[in-house]
Structure formats: C-alpha cells, structure tokens
Structure 1
C-alpha cells in the first residue's frame, strides 16, 4: 500500500474471531496499532496477539451497550479507522422465527455497527482528522433472494448496508470514508465443521477478505466511499 498505516490507531470489533484475527494480522503487518474489544472476561485462548506490543485487547466490552461502546472508544487515542466485524448468524423458517430471535439479529449485527460507527465518527470529528469506517454486510443483505430461510439475518445485514451508504453520504467532505464488504460464505473452521460436504474451494478465504478490509481502512483508499464490495468467491 502506498500510504501507510504505520502507528495509526485502528479499532477492530470481532477482532478475536477467525476473520478478526486475519484482519489484525494484516493491520500489524502494515504497522497499525490495534484496539480490540472483547465481550468476555478474559482473552480467548485461540487469540494469538494477547501480548503483542501493538495490540490493546479490552475485556468485558459489550458492543450492544451504548455506555460500554462510548467508554471503549474514549480510550482510543487519535482514532484513524474503525472496522466492525462483530456480528452473528442464525437461520430458521420465518414461521419459526420468534420476535426475540429477530431482535437478536438486529442487535448483534445492525445495532453494534451503528453504535461503533457513531462512536468512531464522534472521535474523528472531535480530532478534526480524516478517517475510515468499514462495516460487514453479507450477500443476503445485498440480494435478499439469497436470504430465504434466514430472513432476520438478511434484514439485519441489509440494515448494515443501508447504514453504510447513508453514513458515507452524510460524511462526504469531512474526510471520513465509509464502506462495507458483503461476503458470501467465509472459509472458517466453524463453517467447515457445520458444512463438511460443501466445496470449500468456492468460499471466500479469510486472507482475501482481510486484504480487502485493510485496503478500505487504509490511507491508500482515497476514492471508495459508500461502496458495498461483494466478496462472493467462486460461488
């Protein structure tokens, strides 16, 4: 990348997950300082960067809680980018989808993206510097026909997509670029375990997704704003 992330402070929600770890790896390679909120009381055993000098892992941060999100972002100096990978997935026929399950998808995917985007914008505007926000929608969020059997999930990811475009338009001219990726199935250990008979070669690799996310979050990205990047692999 021509423009560097060297010593730039970047938030990565969902940073302890499979995609999150891949994104943190790429950010560290680019010289960034990573701030990773963790909803648990201790770092997950599988997270490889607990003691890394440029990773600040903060436990007991609940991204659906306004005060927790506000407090977390208040502890990030000179915020450059905020990458929102935290989310969840659920599927069920609509007649078996209860209101609570719908609300959970909206909270886990759309509400967390909103609260973190808002906190990031406030920090960036207060500092008077440019910045980047990257959200994660999904293929069913862009093409709801792909959301059959997962209507609550598709609706929550469509909300993230709409939010991304609306934010990008609102923040035009303020130096804050807002984009999102919309992947199909990611090639994670969990997805392989859940779908052992699938053709993994058609899925989106974590490295490919991380590369796209880090580009969107970098100073090298000077033109992409309000873009929903489809990452559909070979499917």
Structure 2
C-alpha cells in the first residue's frame, strides 16, 4: 500500500475556515484532491484555494440536512478520506442556556459529524475502500472540568469523541480507521482578537494541527483507530 495521499479524494468539511484552510493546504501539498462543502451560494472571499485545480468547492451544502449530505458524498469518486472540521462554539452559564441553544450545539457539532461519518462510511463500504475518517472533538469534550460556561459545547464535543471510538470499534474488521483530534485553543485570528491579553505562544498552531490531521487521514496511518489525539500545545 502506498503511504502517500497522491491522487486520493478527501472531503474536508469546514474547509473554508481557519483550520480548514490549513488542512486543505497541507493535503494539497501532499497530492490529495480535496472536496469542500460550502453552506453558502458563493465561495468565501478569504478561501485561498477556490480556483485550485485539485479543489472541488461545492456550494449550498447544509451539513445538518441528511439528504444534502448524502448527495454531496455521492459525487465524490473513490472516497479515501473524510475530515470533519465543521462546527461551532458557544459559552454561557448553565442556568442561562436555552434549550434551543443546547440543541444548536448538538446539531452543529455532533449531528453534522454523525451525518458526514455515516455518508463517508457508506461510500467507502460500497467502493470497498479501507479509508480514513478524522473528526474534531475538543479538550473540553475530553475534560469538561477545563472551563466554566461550556456545558453545551462540552456535551456536543464529548458526543463526537464517543461516536469516534464507537465507530472505530464497529469498523475495525472492515479496514476503515476512525480517529479524532482534540485541540485546546487554536492560534487563529479570531481567537487572537477575542483574547488579546492571552499568551498565544502557548496555543496550538494551525500548521501543527493540520499536520496531525493529515497524518491520521493518510495511508501512512495503518494502525491508529479509535484514538482521541490531544492537541494541547503548552496550555
């Protein structure tokens, strides 16, 4: 088995975001063909790979809609890998969390990850491809004591972690490897703007996170499955 991503088709949800851009860039440098769903009708102006010949940017894909998710995955030929970065964050004291806000976190983080995992697994099984799936949980999903005001977010990311391990166990005899990374604070422009007094040198760089994700999605990873990889930097 080759240990490169050359010519391999990989889905990257959330690929137009800060981490997504770093992951897509890393995968392209490794020779992959990237399929990126976009929730909007037009390409975001900040996404640098819109016209890249190995990037398929597909618009109007609502990742919370099972039919649209299935339709998106059905047009990816020979799916090798599926990386799920799409998600959201909210924080509030538990007594102030509305039921709708809790449901939104579960939909945005856990349900979209499940729908994309399911569609990817269906595609891989139908093509007899022993591919790779990489989810993104969070430090708060593995250690909910880490911060106040994160009940809804931590619950949704803990669900992603649990799904990852359960799927890996279920698929271990079918060759599909399922893992997740669990970042703490990522060094993004948004986080720097929101936390101007924090020591950003202790955060996880986008490049380091992208390297870890690309490895888990690559044929070079032949043994890791059901692993929740902590990406905590020096925090």
Could you say which residue in structure 2 is the equivalent of 1:225?
A: 225
The alignment status of 1:8 with 2:12, answered yes or no, reads: no
> Is 1:147–1:153's contact at 8 Å kept on the other side of the alignment?
no
What is aligned with 2:169? 169
| CA–CA separation in structure 2 for the residues paired with 1:121 and 1:3 | 21
Residues in 2 aligned to 1:34 and 1:74: alpha-carbon distance in whole angstroms? 14
The C-alpha deviation readout for 1:65-90, integer Å capped at 9, x for no partner, is 00000000001000000000000000
1:129 aligns with 2:132: no
Residue 57, structure 1, aligned to residue 66, structure 2: no
CA distance in 2 between partners of 1:79 and 1:175 (Å): 14
How far apart are the structure 1 equivalents of 2:53 and 2:109? 30
The answer as to whether partners of 1:10 and 1:80 remain within 8 angstroms in 2 is yes
Q: How many residues align?
A: 234
Deviation by residue 1:122-157 (Cα, 9 ceiling, x = unmatched): 000000111000000000100010142110000000
Give how far 1:173 is off. Answer: 1.4
Q: TM-score, normalised by structure 1?
A: 0.99
Deviates more, 1:141-150 or 1:7-16: 141-150
Alignment of 1:194 with 2:194, yes or no, is yes
Give the alignment of 1:1-235 within 5 angstroms.
3-235=3-235
Task: Tell me the distance in 2 between the aligned counterparts of 1:214 and 1:183.
Answer: 15
CA distance in 2, matches of 1:148, 1:194: 17
Q: Which runs of 5+ in 2 are unaligned?
A: none
- Segments of structure 1 that go 5 or more residues without pairing to the other structure are none
3-state secondary structure, aligned to 2:166? helix
Q: Is the 8 A contact 1:38 1:61 kept in 2?
A: yes
TM-superposed CA distance for 1:194, in Å, is: 0.5
| Partner SS for 1:116 | helix
What is the RMSD of the two structures over their aligned residues, measured on CA atoms? 0.7
Preserved CA contact (<8 Å) 1:9 1:76: yes
Runs of 4+ in 1 over 3 A off after TM superposition: none
Task: Please give the TM-score of this superposition, normalised by the length of structure 2.
Answer: 0.99
